Amino acid sequence: MSTRRTAKASRAVREVISTAILFELNDPRIKNVTVLDVDVAADMRSAKVYVSVLGDEKSQQLSLHGLNSARGYLQKLVADRIDTRYTPILTFVLDDSVKKSIETSRLLRELAIERGEIPPEDDVVSDEELSADEADESDSPTTDEDHSDDSESREDA
C-alpha cells in the first residue's frame, strides 16, 4: 500500500528522472524513453523505474543498458532533489504496456471496421496528407473577395 509519503517521493523521483533523460543525459543509446511510473519502497531504499522505449527489441535493450550505466548520475540528481535519509537505489524495468495498448487499439479498430461500425480508414488522415493540405492552404493565392472588407473599411474612413 502506498502512503502519502512514498507517493510524493515517487512523483518527485519520476519528475527528476524524466527531466534528466530529456535534457541532461547525452548518451546516444538512450533514445525515445518515457518514464511511466516509479515505485518507491516503503523504507525509501529502493525504487523501480518503469520505462517505455519506442523501437525494436535491440533499441529497447540498448536504451535500458544506457539507463543502467547512467544510474549513479540519476541517483545523485534524486539525492539532491529529495531530502531523505537514504537515496533510493534505482532499478530500471522495461514496461511494454504502451505497446500492448496500441496493439489492442489497432485490433479493436480492425474489428469495428469488419463489423461495419465505423467506416474504413478513408476517414483517417495521415501525417503526410495533413502536411500536404497545410502547404496547399499556405500557397493558395488570395482573391479580391478576401480583401473586399478591407477596401470597404478604408473607403468609410
Q: Indicate whether 153 belongs to any domain.
A: no
Give the cell for residue 58: 535491440
Give the cell for residue 35: 518514464
Q: Indicate whether 102 belongs to any domain.
A: yes
Q: 104 with 129, same domain?
A: yes
pLDDT of the chain along its 157 residues, tens only? 468 989 999 999 999 999 999 999 999 999 999 999 999 999 999 999 999 998 889 999 999 999 999 999 999 999 998 888 899 999 999 988 887 888 899 899 998 888 888 887 754 544 455 445 444 444 444 444 444 444 444 444 4
**Total domain count, the chain:** 2
* Chosen domain end from 41, 72, 95: 95
**C-alpha to C-alpha distances, 145 to 79, 149, 150, 155, nearest whole angstrom:** 64, 8, 10, 16
Q: Indicate whether 126 belongs to any domain.
A: yes
133 lies in which domain range? 97-139
Q: Indicate whether 144 belongs to any domain.
A: no
Say how far apart CA 95 and CA 48 lie, in whole Å.
11
Residues 49, 91 contacting (CB under 8 angstroms): yes
Kindly report whether the global pTM for this prediction surpasses the value 0.85.
no
Q: Indicate whether 157 belongs to any domain.
A: no
Map 105-156 to HEC letters: HHHHHHHHHHHCCCCCHHHCCCHHHHHHHHHHHHHCCCCHHHHHHHHHHHHH
Q: What is the CATH number of the domain that holds 78?
A: 3.30.300.20
* Chosen domain end from 40, 63, 95: 95
Say how far apart CA 62 and CA 59 lie, in whole Å.
5
Q: Indicate whether 62 belongs to any domain.
A: yes
